[in-house]
Amino acid sequence: MVGTEEQRREPGERWAYRAAPYHGPVYEVEVLKKGTKRPTRIKVRFVAEDAEGREEWVPPARLRVPWHKKDAWLADQQRWNDLTRDSPDDHDPEFLAVCTLFDEQWWTDLATVGYNARECGILYIHDAPALAELLDVPETFFSADARAFTDAEGAVVAPWPTTLAVTRLLAKTRADQLVALMAEKDQQAHHEATYGQYYPGRGKNPGTHISPETCAEVDRIYRPARDLLRQWCGAETAERLDELQALRTEVVRIGKLMEAAITCLRQAGQTAAASRFERELGIPLETLRHTLSGRD
């Protein structure tokens, strides 16, 4: 908001200066004047005696907070550094599994997860009572890690170990849907690794084709995450899906045999028998052919 204390940076004010956003030494500086060119620069004087009155033109963003708020700001920074000290790498299979689950947005009103570098893997619990009821855990489950805290908006902010524990429990609440979804993603990944992927362009912009090799490389990164999600769903759910897929495969096999038998009967002049078998099959032969062709 323009005009707030954090954005005015008027001549004579003292500010906490730090070059890097989250790490590095902090210096007290006095604002001398504002520049008139673009990009905007502010002339400051470093206050410390050993700076010997050094003056510099600096980007406004390096003036982090008014100097009198420095201690509280540094305390918040340290708390966040502690919170994120064990956050995962963005290609970590567990993190990708968590992102895959939360991307479905099944629980957006209850909890969300941080994706960018500064909040990678951090869990924001927006409705702790409802989430606790869904997972059948006490609300204290979310703040068991001493680093967890409640932010200004009332959300519980928890570190990566809590995110991982909550995600594993969430996976079980949607196990059937999730295992089926992973199977669809496996099929899509196999198709793209074989044929590549095409993104249509807009207007005069041509479309973009992603090569099968690139798609296969992407799948090598994401496949372990899908495997983890299947594990978190539980063996029973995965077994049920395997049984269902095996049953569908058997139905397709029998359907092909029936199609071949009915065709042979017609070719042999046994039209009455062919029609009787088609009636007992329960669906028109053309519909069966269309269904089977879609599964080849």
pLDDT truncated to tens, each residue of the chain (296 aa)?
Answer: 333 444 578 999 999 999 998 889 999 999 999 999 889 999 999 999 999 999 999 999 999 999 999 999 999 999 999 999 999 998 999 999 999 999 999 999 999 999 998 899 999 999 999 999 999 999 999 999 999 999 989 999 999 999 999 999 999 999 999 999 999 999 999 999 999 998 888 877 788 889 999 999 999 999 999 999 999 998 654 554 454 455 455 555 666 777 777 788 888 888 887 777 777 665 555 555 555 555 54
CB contact at 8 A, 22 and 3: no
- pLDDT in the model for residue 5: 46
Q: Strands across the sheet with 42-46, in order? A: 55-58, 42-46, 27-34, 14-17, 63-66
Q: How many residues does the chain have?
A: 296
What are 252's two structure tokens? 């397709």
Domain locations in the chain as residue ranges: 5-83, 93-173, 175-237, 238-293
CATH fold label, 5-83: SH3 type barrels. (2.30.30)
Which positions ≥6 away from 14 have C-beta within 8 Å? Answer: 28, 29, 30, 31, 47, 66, 67, 68
- pLDDT in the model for residue 144: 96
- pLDDT in the model for residue 182: 93
- pLDDT in the model for residue 247: 47
- pLDDT in the model for residue 245: 52
CB contact at 8 A, 83 and 121: no
Instruction: Quote the CA–CA distance of 211 and 90 in Å, as a whole number.
Output: 23
- pLDDT in the model for residue 199: 85
